[in-house]
């Protein structure tokens, strides 16, 4: 059969057509009133998308650039910081904080689980300057409890930094209510545009802390970027085409809910949650096991390799047969799990097609393990139940 290439990966994700057109037409200079108007509007829309009143800045970098900026702007060498980690992206916080000379304490959980709040509490003290964590750990498919961690920090001077690069647009977050001091997103995830831009919102406490940080920083000096943003500019040449694309994508997201970005984001989150629930039901009905069953994220569903086959075979066969790109496990999880993303520009039709393709692939890899239609039937039922509750 014909094959169309389709991304079902947790970044980059499929592109919104409106964003692609906007990129192609983004023939403008960044020191002009036209660009300033666009940039100011996009930063405002990003505020609604994040769901915060805090100032938002954007930088031309992949998501990790904004993670580094959070470390270099909020800490000083020798600062005590706490990293909560249960996967590859949590480990990135540890590496970054160490690279900047912080004294890092790590609370970790095995891959596929979330950390114990008791252990987090035991490791908190007034000396801990910053806590770094993920909203959703993309490498394992687990969702962490941001609000519970935020509660432990309430009333203290410890700042909370959340990598929500796959959390934004897939998870209902109460950024200001929880007092998240820096929340980070990336263009290639729920914003439906290509990689290359990262954005973050910082609280007043975070902006204040930046004044006393003794880390060297230049390109990633967020204070400078904030001053430029207030004038509708970026300190250096921005990723002009991506800014235009993000504006168009956020308009598209808003258009799903009468032009309201915040409502559109809620709908996008509900969409991811329902796709994730359908996918979880389907893979289990096919005899497969979830990798992170205790607190599965709606960003990505991680599935254990079927008995007698490698996850790498599933991913390879799915691409060879249907042109769909799934993700293998990262690092030592390679071959052990495969991952299906529900981030951004994906809908009911995509979700059903993924499950149908997976049935075909597994019917060959593990014949007799299930009957064709088992996964689809389970997913359809989840959709029906949600529709009955008017969630769809």
Residues near ligand PLP (CB under 6 A): 10-11, 62-64, 89, 134, 138, 163, 165-166, 186, 195
**Shortest distance in whole angstroms from residue 120 CB to ligand PLP:** 19
CB of 140 to ligand PLP, least distance (A): 10
Q: Which is nearer to ligand PLP, 84 or 165 (CB)?
A: 165
- Residue nearest ligand PLP (C-beta atom): 63
β-pairing verdict for 324-325 and 6-7: parallel
State how far the Cα of 116 lies from the Cα of 59, in Å rounded to an integer: 34
CB-nearer residue toward ligand PLP: 188 or 366: 188
Q: How far is the CB of 10 from ligand PLP (least distance, A)?
A: 6
Closest contact distance (angstroms) between CB of 179 and ligand PLP is 21
Q: Would you say 275 or 286 has its CB closer to ligand PLP?
A: 275
Q: Which is nearer to ligand PLP, 206 or 341 (CB)?
A: 341
For the CB of residue 291, give the shortest distance to ligand PLP in the complex, in Å.
15
| Contact in structure between 49 and 265 (CB atoms under 8 Å) | yes
Dist CA 210 CA 139 (whole Å): 30
Q: How far is the CB of 379 from ligand PLP (least distance, A)?
A: 24
Toward ligand PLP, which CB reaches closer, 63 or 357? 63
> Which residue, 296 or 306, has its beta carbon nearer to ligand PLP?
296
Closer of 8 and 89 to ligand PLP (Cβ)? 89
Q: Shortest gap between Cβ of 122 and ligand PLP (angstroms)?
A: 25
């Amino acid at each position: 059969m014909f094959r169309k290439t389709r991304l079902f990966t947790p970044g980059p994700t499929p592109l919104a057509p409106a964003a692609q057109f906007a990129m192609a037409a983004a023939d403008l200079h960044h020191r002009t009133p036209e660009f300033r108007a666009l940039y100011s509007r996009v930063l405002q829309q990003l505020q609604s998308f994040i769901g915060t009143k805090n100032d938002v800045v954007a930088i031309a970098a992949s998501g990790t650039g904004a993670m580094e900026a959070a470390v270099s702007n909020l800490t000083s060498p020798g600062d005590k910081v706490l990293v909560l980690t249960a996967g590859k992206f949590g480990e990135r916080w540890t590496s970054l904080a160490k690279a900047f000379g912080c004294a890092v304490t790590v609370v970790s959980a095995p891959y596929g689980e979330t950390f114990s709040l008791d252990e987090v509490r035991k490791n908190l003290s007034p000396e801990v300057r910053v806590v770094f964590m993920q909203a959703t750990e993309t490498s394992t498919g687990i969702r962490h409890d941001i609000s519970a961690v935020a509660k432990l920090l309430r009333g203290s001077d410890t700042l909370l930094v959340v990598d929500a690069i796959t959390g934004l647009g897939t998870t209902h977050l109460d950024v200001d209510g929880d007092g998240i001091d820096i929340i980070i997103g990336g263009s290639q995830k729920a914003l439906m545009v290509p990689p290359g831009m990262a954005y973050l919102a910082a609280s007043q406490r975070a902006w204040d802390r930046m004044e006393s940080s003794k880390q060297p920083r230049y390109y990633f000096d967020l204070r400078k970027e904030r001053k430029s943003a207030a004038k509708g500019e970026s300190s250096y040449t921005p990723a002009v085409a991506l800014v235009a694309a993000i504006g168009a994508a956020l308009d598209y997201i808003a258009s799903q809910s009468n032009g309201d970005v915040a409502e559109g984001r809620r709908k996008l989150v509900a969409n991811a949650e329902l796709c994730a629930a359908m996918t979880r039901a389907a893979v289990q009905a096919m005899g497969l096991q979830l990798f992170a069953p205790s607190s599965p994220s709606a960003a990505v569903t991680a599935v254990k390799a079927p008995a007698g086959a490698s996850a790498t075979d599933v991913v390879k066969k799915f691409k060879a047969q249907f042109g769909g790109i799934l993700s293998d496990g990262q690092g030592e999880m390679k071959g052990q799990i495969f991952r299906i993303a529900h981030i951004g520009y994906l809908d009911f039709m995509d979700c059903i097609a993924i499950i149908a393709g997976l049935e075909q692939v597994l019917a060959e890899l593990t014949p007799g393990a299930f009957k064709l239609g088992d996964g689809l039937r389970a997913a359809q039922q989840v959709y029906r139940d949600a529709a009955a509750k008017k969630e769809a």
